[in-house]
A and B are shown apart, each in its own frame.
Chain A
Amino acid sequence: MKNDHDHSGKKTGFGPGVTRRKFLKTVGSGAAIAAASDALTARGIAKADVIKPEAIVRVNLSINGIRRSLVVESRWSLLYVLREKLGLTGTKVGCERGECGACTVLMDQVPRYACLTLAVEAQGSEIVTLEGLMQGEKLGAVQQAFAEHDAFQCGYCTPGQIMAAEGLLRGNPAPKPDEIRRAMSGNLCRCGAYAHIHRAVGRAAELKGKKGGAS
């Protein structure tokens, strides 16, 4: 499957790179929206304007370049919909509270925790999951680099690590070692494969560079 959005590594509109701060800011926006809706309720906005958590709503999602129209409960996370409704199990469940990064996907090119993102929030954004980095049966550059450098042990945090690296490299094609460490610090690996992960991200930057930016 070929994604219809930009894989070229050219300017994405996100400037020179996704900083840790920007990443956190993006990740935190789910909670911010929830808080805002509470505030609205408190200010006496008509109840009908607030969707109940279990209300059924229709959403249109763009995932790995394919448009999907789904009926969801408004409380369902993007993570749940990806895994249990669409069968995209490359995105993993680690904590469901934005602590580990196992569920990292790209949302408009920026790494984002899918567990803290409601499916309804993902409308209008381009979502890329691990599966979206594949070119048919062929591994993408970051995936290839992770395989070469043994950048995983049990492999469960790996999809999230790869998506965090992909997001970094789309914004910053030639990160310095310290930039790699910071960009990857939102993804836990209990096996402790960080040393190999760092090397793999450096290698992925090389591979992407060689291919003229193709992922």
Chain B
Amino acid sequence: MSDQEKSLYYVEELPVPETPLPGKSPAPWKGTRIIGKAVPRVDAYERVSGSAVYPSDVSLPNMLYGAILRCPHPNARVKNVATARAESMPGVHAVISGQTAAADLEWTYSSRGVRLKSKLFDPRCRHEGETVAAVAAETPYLAWDAVRAIDVAYAVLPAVSDERAALDQGAAAVHDQGNRVAPPDIYERGDVDRGFAEADVVLEESYRTECEIHTPMEPHGCVANWDGDRLTIWESTQGVYRVQQNVAEILSLPLSKVRVIGHYMGGGFGSKLQAGKYTVIAALLAKMTGRPVKMILSREETYLAVGNRPPSNMTLRAGIKKDGTLSALDFTCVGTGGAYPAGGISLVDWQVRDLYRCPHVRTAGTDVYINAGPARPFRAPGHPQGAWALEQMLDALAEAVGMDPVDLRLKNIALYSQARDGQPPYTSTGFKDCLEKGAAAFGWKQARQQIAAAGNRGVIRRGVGMAGGMWVAGGGRPPSTIILKLFADGSVNLNMGASDIGTGTKTVMSLVVAEELGVKPEIIQIEHADTGTTQYATPSGGSKTVPTESPAVRAAAISLKQQLLEIAARDLAVDPATLSFRAGSIVSRNDPSKKINFTELSGLKQRGVVVGIGYRGPNPENKVTNPFAAQFCEVEVNTATGEVRIVRFLGAHDSGRVMSRLTYDNQVFGGITMGIGLAMTEARILDKTHTGKMVNRNWHDYKLPTALDVPEDLVSLPIEPDDTEANTTGAKGLGEPVTIPTAAAVANAVYHATGVRITQTPMSPVQLCRRLAERRKEG
């Protein structure tokens, strides 16, 4: 390789980190050359040019299209499925239902140790949108014609649509054993009665957050194709290995006979961590017809059958001393994961348990069944709901004891995890900095002073609000295996099983390779998210992908470097410990004339490739790694119309090291945007009094934030606590914490502006007008 060519691949004259001796842990990076910089994504070209192939774009020769007939009732028994008319339609190649022998397969739901078995096509449809039959036809139009031609006889049963009434006497039973998923989930530390007795002020309030639907832009779905007994699935998923495992188990196939590919995917937010019934149905239809089948759900189906963030009904009683010290928290929650065990109250109480220092805490959660679609994890499960209650309560407590809301939180910072056994310390917590630096950057005190000075009377009222948060996970964990290949010309291939769900995983991992090898990120080829060609990885979700994968990538790069050093030491006849990397070559630190380019290394020339393998090491024992957050916002409330305009938002986030600044900021803004949806507009509406059906199963009636709902003035303030213990890259998770405090911060700002405390999402103009009118009446 000429010097000119080499400079295409490697960054000149920049030292790369020293290589640890074999078996030794690498030192934390001090300064980084490329990690944390604002560089465009390595796959930006594919995503903006249209050359990225998403599963819904896959088109195979001779491909058929699938469609699913779903139960229109929230609770019904299928008496008969008449398919003859559909089967006889031209262009229709297969029709299956619960009456089809090959489709008689089990489908299991489980959550917190509760497992319930049902069927792929269960004759008892416990939620609207349950699968009843499916077809494969020449075009999607013909497939839907055929679905409409299937006659199903249902015995419609009474349904329960409101979790708050699910345990009432006479409520319809979702399952024979009743509507309680499990005995109440109780957590207790200290003695709350004593805590309340010690308090100077005790407040109690009830809160509710509505059920949200993920609705990723790419609907759920896949293309399935058989080659004999080998099945290949292109699935829109956050985790190809999880889908492979689900499908192999249900179809009783060896893992090696199921290949799942998911290079690109159009968003998941937790709803695409697993295979869907549609995945298995597509595979069955493909098998029966001997042709590939494309099965992409309609938008309406994504509202009914592939997950949601459960509604949460919460009551929080809190005791505080005059100096702002929390003395007791007592929290209850009733929630529902829908018709099957699906985590209806999962993690709703976590921040009450763990975010603030408090000696006396009790939480109790009740998870019930209703006749609605099963929940799936939704970005920071439970946490935005818990924050909605806890962070509004802290705001009220601050006012009650005459403290600034930021100061009250600073007064109660925890340096260790109180809710875990043994109360382990955090590997790092930047929560204090999130609060202090966030408040300073936002101009928190000045904003409050200005609003107070202006009197805040007219029709348009201004207010500022803030909230804190933490995410229960976000430290990552084994397993992860990464393979890094050095080609003969010094360019690099990175092989990883993880999906890039839009968070920038491929970019972050390329930057890790670039940092360690000195190679330019754009020269790195990436293979990922394919069970046939890449290594095992857990699904990308829970803010664990970067802290899980990046240390494994670093380990693979170090393994590669160690091998190159050994080869170079032999070639140059020197001690490997005296050698360093420099721009595609290896140089002796003692004698600069002893230098060899990668491409001249005998081992690389002979084999044509050097392979570095990296594994994710264990997390530190007896310590916890969590990300922390504080968000600040300013709103204008029109007290005549009830409209809220969010003027500006600032997110101060401790997610450890910033790995890639552009994708980092993008996550922060995206999390805030999603949180604005929870606060302002999003709510699944079930027709509770009559049909039990969902009435807003589309983006027209179920409103997501648009370009006009997000303020222009959005600031991302990274707090980097230099966590040297969490893992070898110092990164913590980001995707979940960025949406946790948002809705509560908006509610606190609305309270500051109007004096009206909105405890139920969404803060619609209708609700706000009603509450403002009530307040005027109260005088």
Question: Please, which residues of chain A bring their CB within 8 A of the CB of B669?
Answer: 192-196
A86-104 contacts to B (CB < 8 Å):
87-90, 92-97, 99-100, 102
Q: Indicate if the CB atoms of A190 and B267 lie closer than 8 Å.
A: yes
Q: Indicate if the CB atoms of A97 and B48 lie closer than 8 Å.
A: no
Given contacts A94-B299, A148-B40, A195-B669, 20 further A-B contacts (CB under 8 A): A73-B139, A80-B140, A84-B59, A87-B59, A88-B50, A94-B219, A97-B299, A97-B698, A102-B217, A150-B41, A150-B44, A152-B48, A153-B503, A181-B712, A190-B217, A194-B705, A195-B710, A196-B669, A198-B707, A198-B712
Q: List 11 A-B contacts (CB under 8 A).
A: A84-B140, A134-B49, A153-B267, A154-B266, A155-B502, A156-B218, A157-B217, A184-B707, A188-B706, A190-B269, A191-B217
Compute how far the CA of A140 lies from the CA of B141 in the bound complex, rounded to whole angstroms: 34
Q: Which 3 A-B pairs have the closest CB atoms?
A: A90-B50, A192-B673, A156-B266
Q: Taking the complex as formed, is A177 at the interface, i.e. its CB lies under 8 A from any CB of chain B?
A: yes
Q: Which residue of B lies closest to A84 (CB)?
A: B59
A: which residues have CB within 8 A of B? Answer: 54, 73, 75-76, 80, 83-84, 87-90, 92-97, 99-100, 102, 129-131, 134, 139, 143-144, 146-150, 152-159, 162, 177, 181-182, 184-185, 187-198
Q: Tell me the total A-B contact number using a CB cutoff of 8 A.
A: 177
Pick from B265, B266, B502, B674 the residue with the most CB of A within 10 Å: B266
Q: Indicate if the CB atoms of B217 and A159 lie closer than 8 Å.
A: no
Question: Please, which residues of chain A bring their CB within 8 A of the CB of B45?
Answer: 139, 147
Q: Taking the complex as formed, is B663 at the interface, i.e. its CB lies under 8 A from any CB of chain A?
A: yes
Pick from B50, B145, B667: contact of A131, CB under 8 Å:
B50
Q: Taking the complex as formed, is B222 at the interface, i.e. its CB lies under 8 A from any CB of chain A?
A: no
Q: Taking the complex as formed, is B726 at the interface, i.e. its CB lies under 8 A from any CB of chain A?
A: no
Q: Indicate if the CB atoms of A143 and B49 lie closer than 8 Å.
A: yes
Q: Taking the complex as formed, is B104 at the interface, i.e. its CB lies under 8 A from any CB of chain A?
A: no
Q: Indicate if the CB atoms of B267 and A192 lie closer than 8 Å.
A: no
Question: Please, which residues of chain B bring their CB within 8 A of the CB of A181?
Answer: 707-708, 712
Question: Please, which residues of chain B bring their CB within 8 A of the CB of A129?
Answer: 50
Q: Indicate if the CB atoms of B215 and A190 lie closer than 8 Å.
A: yes
Asked, given contacts A89-B53, A99-B699, whether A192 binds B670 with beta carbons under 8 Å apart, the answer is: yes
Measured between C-beta atoms, what is the minimum distance from B343 to chain A in Å? 21
Measured between C-beta atoms, what is the minimum distance from B41 to chain A in Å? 6
Question: Please, which residues of chain B bring their CB within 8 A of the CB of A93?
Answer: 56, 219, 296
Asked, given contacts A139-B49, A193-B666, whether A156 binds B267 with beta carbons under 8 Å apart, the answer is: yes
Question: Please, which residues of chain B bring their CB within 8 A of the CB of A90?
Answer: 49-50
Measured between C-beta atoms, what is the minimum distance from B451 to chain A in Å? 25
Compute how far the CA of A75 lies from the CA of B139 in the bound complex, rounded to whole angstroms: 12
Measured between C-beta atoms, what is the minimum distance from B618 to chain A in Å? 31
Q: Indicate if the CB atoms of B698 and A192 lie closer than 8 Å.
A: no
Q: Taking the complex as formed, is B700 at the interface, i.e. its CB lies under 8 A from any CB of chain A?
A: yes
User: Main SS of chain B's interface residues?
Assistant: loop
Compute how far the CA of A80 lies from the CA of B708 in the bound complex, rounded to whole angstroms: 29
Compute how far the CA of A99 lies from the CA of B698 in the bound complex, rounded to whole angstroms: 8
Pick from B47, B265, B714: contact of A152, CB under 8 Å:
B47
Q: Taking the complex as formed, is B52 at the interface, i.e. its CB lies under 8 A from any CB of chain A?
A: yes
- What mask results when residues 659 to 690 of chain B are scored 1 for a CB within 8 Å of chain A, else 0? 00011011101111110000000000000000
Q: Indicate if the CB atoms of A130 and B710 lie closer than 8 Å.
A: no
Q: Indicate if the CB atoms of B141 and A75 lie closer than 8 Å.
A: yes
Q: Indicate if the CB atoms of B50 and A191 lie closer than 8 Å.
A: no
Measured between C-beta atoms, what is the minimum distance from A20 to chain B in Å? 10
Compute how far the CA of A212 lies from the CA of B504 in the bound complex, rounded to whole angstroms: 33
Asked, given contacts A155-B52, A155-B264, whether A194 binds B707 with beta carbons under 8 Å apart, the answer is: yes
Question: Please, which residues of chain A bring their CB within 8 A of the CB of B296?
Answer: 93
Measured between C-beta atoms, what is the minimum distance from B34 to chain A in Å? 16
Pick from A100, A150, A155: contact of B663, CB under 8 Å:
A150
Q: Indicate if the CB atoms of A159 and B708 lie closer than 8 Å.
A: no
Compute how far the CA of A134 lies from the CA of B706 in the bound complex, rounded to whole angstroms: 27
Compute how far the CA of A87 lies from the CA of B41 in the bound complex, rounded to whole angstroms: 26
Question: Please, which residues of chain B bring their CB within 8 A of the CB of A83?
Answer: 57
Q: Indicate if the CB atoms of A177 and B712 lie closer than 8 Å.
A: yes
Q: Indicate if the CB atoms of A158 and B707 lie closer than 8 Å.
A: no
Q: Indicate if the CB atoms of A153 and B666 lie closer than 8 Å.
A: yes
Question: Please, which residues of chain B bring their CB within 8 A of the CB of A196?
Answer: 662, 665-666, 669
Q: Taking the complex as formed, is B501 at the interface, i.e. its CB lies under 8 A from any CB of chain A?
A: yes
Measured between C-beta atoms, what is the minimum distance from A114 to chain B in Å? 14
Compute how far the CA of A130 lies from the CA of B145 in the bound complex, rounded to whole angstroms: 31
Compute how far the CA of A31 lies from the CA of B708 in the bound complex, rounded to whole angstroms: 25
Q: Indicate if the CB atoms of B704 and A188 lie closer than 8 Å.
A: yes
Compute how far the CA of A73 lies from the CA of B501 in the bound complex, rounded to whole angstroms: 36
Q: Which residue of A lies closest to B44 (CB)?
A: A147
Q: Which residue of A lies closest to B51 (CB)?
A: A90
Question: Please, which residues of chain A bring their CB within 8 A of the CB of B662?
Answer: 149-150, 196
Question: Please, which residues of chain A bring their CB within 8 A of the CB of B708?
Answer: 181-182, 185
Measured between C-beta atoms, what is the minimum distance from B541 to chain A in Å? 13
Question: Please, which residues of chain B bring their CB within 8 A of the CB of A188?
Answer: 217, 699, 704, 706
Question: Please, which residues of chain B bring their CB within 8 A of the CB of A194?
Answer: 669, 673, 705-707, 710
Q: Indicate if the CB atoms of A92 and B707 lie closer than 8 Å.
A: no
Compute how far the CA of A23 lies from the CA of B44 in the bound complex, rounded to whole angstroms: 28
Question: Please, which residues of chain A bring their CB within 8 A of the CB of B266?
Answer: 92, 154-157
Q: Taking the complex as formed, is B54 at the interface, i.e. its CB lies under 8 A from any CB of chain A?
A: yes
Question: Please, which residues of chain A bring their CB within 8 A of the CB of B217?
Answer: 92, 94, 100, 102, 154, 156-157, 188-191
Q: Indicate if the CB atoms of B674 and A192 lie closer than 8 Å.
A: yes
Q: Indicate if the CB atoms of A147 and B40 lie closer than 8 Å.
A: yes
